[in-house]
Structure 1
Amino acid sequence: MTVKARNRLLALLWLCLAGAAGAAMVFASIYLYLKPGLPSVESLRDIRLQTPLRVYSQDMKLIGEFGEKRRNPITIEQTPEPFIKAILAAEDASFYSHSGVSIKGLMRAASQLVQTGSIQSGGSTLTMQVARNFFLSREQRFIRKFNEILLSLQIERELSKDEILELYINKIFLGNRAYGFQAAAHVYYGRDIKDLSMAQWAMMAGLPKAPSTFNPIANPTRALVRRNWILKRMLDLGYIDQDEYKHSITAPVTASYHSRDLDLDAPYIAEMARKEAVELFGDSAYTDGYQVITTVNSRLQDQARRALQHGLETYDSRHGYRGPEQRLPPELLHDSDQLIDLLNEIPVLGGLEPGVVTAVEPKLLQVQLRDRRVVEVPWENGLDSIRPYITESSRGPRLQSAEKMFAPGDVVRLRRIEIKHTEVIGSQDKPTSAGGATQLASAFEDTPNPDPFAEPEEVSSSPLEPQITEEWELTQVPSAQGALVSIDPQDGAIRALVGGYDFRQSHFNRVTQAARQPGSSFKPFIYASAIERGYTAASVINDAPIIFEETNLQDVWRPENDGGTFLGPTRLRMALYKSRNMVSIRLLQALGLDYALGFVEGFGFDRSKLARNLTIALGSSALTPLEMVRGYAAFANGGYRVEPYLVDRVLDVNGETLYQALPLTVCNDCPEPGSESQGFNNQEPLNLAAIQPGEEGPDQGKEPPELKVLPVGPLDSSKLQARPLAPRAMTPETAYIMDSILKDVIKKGTGRRALAMKRGDIAGKTGTTNGPRDAWFSGYSPYLATSAWVGFDSYGELGKNEYGGSAALPIWIDFMSTALEGLPERHLPQPDSITTVRINPKNGLRTSYGGMFEIFRTNRVPGREAYNPYRSRYSDDEMPGRDRSSEPPPEELF
Structure 2
Amino acid sequence: MAASTLLGLGLLAFAALIWHYGQDLPRTSELKSYRPPEVTRILARDGTPLAELFVERRTVVPISVVPNSMKLAVLAAEDANFYKHEGLNYVGILRALLVNLRSAQARQGGSTITQQVIKNVLLTPERTFARKIRELILARRIEQELTKDEILELYLNHIYFGHGRYGVEEAARYYFGKSVRDVQLAEAALLAGLVKGPSVYSPRVDLARAEERRSYVLHQLGDKGFASRTDVDAAARQKIVLAPPPEHAAELAPEVVAEVERALVAAVGPQANRGGYTVTTTIDPKLQAAARAAVRGNLDAYAARRGLIAPLKRGKGDPAPFEGAPTQGSGRIYQGVVTKADDVAGTLTVRVGTAEGVVKLERAARYNPRKLPPSQFAEIGKVVRVTFDGGDPRGGRLELALGPQSALVALDVRTAEVLAVVGSYDAVRGALNRARSARRQPASTFKPIVYSYGIHTRAFTAASILETQPAALGGKYRPDNYDESDGQAPRRLREALASSVNVAAVWTLEQLGPAKVAEWARSLGITSKLGADLSLALGAYEVTPFEMVAAFNTFAAGGTYRDPVLVRSIIGPGGQPLPLPSATPARQVMSEAEAYIMTSLLRSVVESGTAKRARSMSTPVAGKTGTSNAAKDAWFVGYSTDIACAVWTGHDDASPLGPGETGGATSLPAFMAFMQDAHKARPRTDFAAPPDGLVRVLIDTATGRLAPPGAAGAIEEVFLAGTEPTTYAEPSWSGEAPRIEWPF
User: Which residue does the alignment assign to 2:144?
Assistant: 157
Residue pairs, 1:388-787, within 5 angstroms: 479-504=403-428, 507-534=431-458, 535-544=460-469, 546=471, 550=475, 553=477, 557-567=478-488, 570-606=491-527, 609-664=529-584, 724=585, 726-760=586-620, 762-787=621-646
Structure 1 counterpart SS, 2:645:
strand
Does residue 90 of the first structure (1) align with residue 109 of the second (2)? no
Q: 1:363-416: CA deviations, max 9, x gaps? A: xx9xxxxxxxxxxxxxxxxxxxxxxx9999xxxxxxxxxxxxxxxxxxxxxxxx
In structure 2, the CA distance between the partners of 1:216 and 1:788, relative to structure 1 (3 Å rule), is same
Does the 8 A contact of 2:185 with 2:235 survive in 1? no
Does the 8 A contact of 2:37 with 2:55 survive in 1? no
Moved more, 730-739 or 351-360: 351-360
Distance in 2 between residues matched to 1:115 and 1:290, nearest whole Å: 49
Structure 1 counterpart SS, 2:560:
coil
- TM-score (ref. length: structure 1): 0.68
User: Which residue does the alignment assign to 2:667?
Assistant: 808
Distance in 2 between residues matched to 1:879 and 1:775, nearest whole Å: 34
Q: Of 250, 269, 294, which aligns to 2:256?
A: 269
Does the 8 A contact of 2:706 with 2:726 survive in 1? yes
Deviation at 1:244, TM superposition (A): 4.6
Deviation at 1:114, TM superposition (A): 5.4
Deviation at 1:170, TM superposition (A): 0.2
Q: 1:770-813: CA deviations, max 9, x gaps? A: 32222111011242221001122232222333221222111112
In structure 2, the CA distance between the partners of 1:196 and 1:353, relative to structure 1 (3 Å rule), is farther
Query: How many residue pairs get matched?
Result: 685
Distance in 1 between residues matched to 2:82 and 2:661, nearest whole Å: 74
Deviation at 1:595, TM superposition (A): 3.5
Does the 8 A contact of 1:53 with 1:286 survive in 2? no
Does the 8 A contact of 2:715 with 2:740 survive in 1? no
Does residue 46 of the first structure (1) align with residue 59 of the second (2)? no
- TM-score (ref. length: structure 2): 0.81
Q: 1:201-254: CA deviations, max 9, x gaps? A: 333223333444545556667655544433332343343537854863785696
Does residue 861 of the first structure (1) align with residue 724 of the second (2)? yes
Instruction: Specify the code of the residue in structure 1 equivalent to 2:150.
Output: E
Distance in 1 between residues matched to 2:718 and 2:406, nearest whole Å: 37
User: Which residue does the alignment assign to 2:392?
Assistant: none
Moved more, 830-839 or 305-314: 830-839
User: Which residue does the alignment assign to 1:685?
Assistant: none
Does the 8 A contact of 2:498 with 2:605 survive in 1? yes
Residue pairs, 1:356-395, within 5 angstroms: 357=373
Moved more, 184-193 or 646-655: 184-193
User: Which residue does the alignment assign to 2:193?
Assistant: 206
Deviation at 1:165, TM superposition (A): 1.3
Instruction: Specify the code of the residue in structure 2 equivalent to 1:501.
Output: Y
Deviation at 1:70, TM superposition (A): 0.9
In structure 2, the CA distance between the partners of 1:289 and 1:222, relative to structure 1 (3 Å rule), is same
Instruction: Specify the code of the residue in structure 1 equivalent to 2:189.
Output: A
User: Which residue does the alignment assign to 1:846?
Assistant: 706
Q: 1:71-115: CA deviations, max 9, x gaps? A: 011222332332322211211111222222223323333344456
Deviation at 1:538, TM superposition (A): 1.4
User: Which residue does the alignment assign to 2:112?
Assistant: 125
Moved more, 66-75 or 502-511: 502-511
Distance in 1 between residues matched to 2:415 and 2:293, nearest whole Å: 25
User: Which residue does the alignment assign to 2:44?
Assistant: 57
Instruction: Specify the code of the residue in structure 1 equivalent to 2:561.
Output: R
Deviation at 1:39, TM superposition (A): 3.5
Structure 1 counterpart SS, 2:165:
coil
In structure 2, the CA distance between the partners of 1:204 and 1:525, relative to structure 1 (3 Å rule), is same
Distance in 2 between residues matched to 1:193 and 1:294, nearest whole Å: 26
Does the 8 A contact of 2:410 with 2:643 survive in 1? yes
In structure 2, the CA distance between the partners of 1:243 and 1:204, relative to structure 1 (3 Å rule), is closer
Distance in 2 between residues matched to 1:391 and 1:94, nearest whole Å: 69
Deviation at 1:632, TM superposition (A): 0.7
Does the 8 A contact of 2:115 with 2:136 survive in 1? yes
Structure 1 counterpart SS, 2:491:
strand
User: Which residue does the alignment assign to 1:248?
Assistant: 236
- CA RMSD in angstroms comes to 4.1
Distance in 2 between residues matched to 1:844 and 1:81, nearest whole Å: 83
Structure 1 counterpart SS, 2:471:
coil
In structure 2, the CA distance between the partners of 1:640 and 1:359, relative to structure 1 (3 Å rule), is closer
Distance in 1 between residues matched to 2:516 and 2:47, nearest whole Å: 45
Does the 8 A contact of 1:492 with 1:663 survive in 2? no
Moved more, 855-864 or 487-496: 487-496
Structure 2 unaligned blocks of 5 or more:
313-337, 347-357, 386-399
Deviation at 1:266, TM superposition (A): 0.7
Distance in 2 between residues matched to 1:202 and 1:232, nearest whole Å: 10
User: Which residue does the alignment assign to 2:650?
Assistant: 791
Does the 8 A contact of 2:106 with 2:129 survive in 1? no
Q: Of 61, 65, 73, which aligns to 1:74?
A: 61
In structure 2, the CA distance between the partners of 1:130 and 1:596, relative to structure 1 (3 Å rule), is closer
Distance in 2 between residues matched to 1:331 and 1:344, nearest whole Å: 11
Distance in 1 between residues matched to 2:659 and 2:496, nearest whole Å: 24
Q: 1:24-43: CA deviations, max 9, x gaps? A: 65555544555553433333
Does the 8 A contact of 1:220 with 1:253 survive in 2? no
Structure 2 counterpart SS, 1:586:
helix
Structure 2 counterpart SS, 1:610:
coil
Deviation at 1:482, TM superposition (A): 0.6
Distance in 2 between residues matched to 1:638 and 1:742, nearest whole Å: 14
Distance in 2 between residues matched to 1:853 and 1:252, nearest whole Å: 76
Structure 2 counterpart SS, 1:643:
coil
Moved more, 74-83 or 821-830: 821-830
Instruction: Specify the code of the residue in structure 2 equivalent to 1:76.
Output: I
Q: Larger radius of gyration, structure 1 or 2?
A: 1
In structure 2, the CA distance between the partners of 1:828 and 1:196, relative to structure 1 (3 Å rule), is same
User: Which residue does the alignment assign to 1:346?
Assistant: 362
Deviation at 1:531, TM superposition (A): 1.6
User: Which residue does the alignment assign to 2:315?
Assistant: none
Structure 1 counterpart SS, 2:58:
coil
Does the 8 A contact of 1:544 with 1:566 survive in 2? no
**In percent, how many aligned pairs have the same letter?**
32
Distance in 1 between residues matched to 2:490 and 2:414, nearest whole Å: 38
Q: Of 116, 129, 136, which aligns to 2:123?
A: 136
User: Which residue does the alignment assign to 2:335?
Assistant: none
In structure 2, the CA distance between the partners of 1:841 and 1:38, relative to structure 1 (3 Å rule), is same
Does the 8 A contact of 1:217 with 1:256 survive in 2? no
Instruction: Specify the code of the residue in structure 2 equivalent to 1:493.
Output: E
Distance in 2 between residues matched to 1:506 and 1:46, nearest whole Å: 33
Structure 2 counterpart SS, 1:486:
strand
Q: 1:413-446: CA deviations, max 9, x gaps? A: xxxxxxxxxxxxxxxxxxxxxxxxxxxxxxxxxx
Distance in 1 between residues matched to 2:48 and 2:344, nearest whole Å: 46
Distance in 2 between residues matched to 1:324 and 1:138, nearest whole Å: 56
Distance in 1 between residues matched to 2:429 and 2:260, nearest whole Å: 20
Q: Of 807, 832, 837, which aligns to 2:692?
A: 832
Does residue 37 of the first structure (1) align with residue 53 of the second (2)? no
In structure 2, the CA distance between the partners of 1:134 and 1:561, relative to structure 1 (3 Å rule), is closer
In structure 2, the CA distance between the partners of 1:663 and 1:845, relative to structure 1 (3 Å rule), is same
Distance in 2 between residues matched to 1:483 and 1:330, nearest whole Å: 34
Deviation at 1:846, TM superposition (A): 2.2
Distance in 2 between residues matched to 1:749 and 1:573, nearest whole Å: 10
Q: Of 656, 661, 677, which aligns to 1:818?
A: 677
Structure 1 counterpart SS, 2:509:
helix
In structure 2, the CA distance between the partners of 1:273 and 1:351, relative to structure 1 (3 Å rule), is farther
